[in-house]
């Protein structure tokens, strides 16, 4: 199935979720993430502010800040993303596309131990379908294979196979409400059973 068809089908399914389902699934997903050794070992992580029924990140943000971790969020600047440090969720303000964004000086997301990425759909090999604007692809391509790129998605967003393109950024780790998929060999070797 072409990317456009996958995108339309998964977005339609996501729109069918009730607000209470979004909260419930998001909490399950975030709690699974908070139990991972990768999260516990991370001193700095980047999150996203969810839109349109995307998996939430607020519980992770609150836990990370309470644990003294450094937290980054992206802001759209021109055709790219700029990542900025956030010390409280109240610092995020509506930006481009109505997405909550930080203000302030940017920093390189390569310094983060984990970068949590939203998407419309993912596959078990880490390929990602976004909204088609390419912001995350352009901004994070240099981190592919580093073990840092984490996808948050619901089970129905995790497909068996997506046809990827060279410019698509590939995830290392995928977290859903019911499972964790370690895609990158670097992560699988460090996996604790």
CA distances from 81 to 75, 100, 109, 120 (A): 5, 13, 10, 18
User: Quick one: which of 38, 69, 63, 40 has its CA closest to 151?
Assistant: 38
pLDDT lower than 50: segments of the chain: 186-193
User: Which DSSP category does 48 fall into?
Assistant: -
Predicted local distance difference test score (pLDDT) of residue 190: 42
SS3 175: strand
Predicted local distance difference test score (pLDDT) of residue 129: 87
d(CA 44, CA 173): 16
Counting every residue, how long is the chain? 193
Predicted local distance difference test score (pLDDT) of residue 192: 39
Predicted local distance difference test score (pLDDT) of residue 140: 87
Q: What global pTM score does this model have?
A: 0.89
CA distances from 102 to 39, 72, 107, 141, 150 (A): 22, 8, 12, 22, 20
d(CA 145, CA 186): 8
Predicted local distance difference test score (pLDDT) of residue 184: 64
């Amino acid at each position: 199935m072409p990317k456009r068809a996958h995108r339309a089908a998964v977005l339609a399914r996501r729109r069918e979720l009730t607000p209470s389902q979004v909260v419930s699934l998001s909490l399950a997903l975030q709690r699974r993430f908070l139990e991972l050794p990768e999260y516990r070992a991370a001193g700095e992580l980047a999150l996203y502010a969810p839109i349109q029924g995307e998996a939430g990140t607020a519980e992770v943000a609150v836990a990370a800040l309470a644990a003294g971790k450094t937290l980054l969020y992206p802001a759209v600047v021109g055709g790219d993303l700029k990542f900025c440090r956030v010390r409280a969720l109240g610092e995020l303000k509506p930006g481009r596309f109505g997405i909550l964004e930080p203000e302030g000086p940017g920093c390189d997301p390569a310094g983060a131990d984990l970068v949590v990425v939203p998407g419309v759909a993912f596959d078990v090999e880490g390929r990602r379908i976004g909204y088609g604007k390419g912001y995350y692809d352009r901004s994070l391509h240099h981190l592919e294979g580093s073990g840092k790129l984490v996808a948050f998605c619901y089970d129905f967003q995790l497909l068996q196979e997506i046809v990827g393109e060279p410019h698509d950024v590939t995830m290392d780790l995928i977290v859903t409400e019911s499972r964790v998929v370690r895609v990158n060999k670097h992560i699988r070797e460090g996996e604790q059973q």
